[in-house]
Amino acid sequence: MNPAFPPLPIPAEALKELRVHDDAGNPPRPYPDDEGGAPLRCCLRSSTRGELIALVSYAPLRRWAAQTDADPGAYDEQGPVFIHAEDCGGPSDGHPGYPWARPGALRVLRRYDGRGRITGGRMLELPDDPHAAFERALAEAFADPGTAQVHVRAVEYGCYHFRVDRP
């Protein structure tokens, strides 16, 4: 099922930099995932046991602003994300749809304008058909012509999951 609003992983160029120093200036500390299930923002899938991963600090608005001359001001936040320790090639075609979309999960969709300022948000408890719920919530977000992008985050930890740009 291909989404009308494709989820975007962390861009490849940003991943190269994060694998040297993260957005907090720290070197990554790769480790083999003993359990599996870590949400990998490089390929938008969960890790499997034994994969070499790293937890790094990522500032999605800061990186986007540097490419667009936007100024997110106080909305320039950074937080922890899991990535593969080495290049994984990004998402595969075998993982269509919205990642980590399981019924009962709580997500927040934050809307940002072209300056990088937050313009609204919505909490979403994923129902039995999470794909349809995401489609409706994202259509609602982009119905506002000022919305340039939407960040999807987990409510429980506030973790950044993925970005969706205006189609």
Q: Is the pLDDT of residue 109 over 90?
A: yes
Q: If we measure between CA atoms, which residue out of 42, 61, 62, 69 comes closest to residue 53?
A: 42
Placement of tokens 């709580």 in the chain = 106
Q: C-alpha distances in angstroms, 69 versus 11, 107, 156?
A: 17, 29, 32
Counting residues of the chain whose pLDDT is more than 90, the rounded percentage is 88
Structure tokens at 71: 């100024």
Instruction: Name the DSSP class of 103.
Output: T
One-character DSSP codes across 98-131: -TT--TT-EEEEEEE-TTS-EEEEEEEE--S-HH
pTM (two decimals)? 0.93
Mean pLDDT, the chain, integer: 94
Per-residue pLDDT reduced to its tens digit, 36-77: 999 999 999 999 999 999 999 999 999 999 889 899 999 899
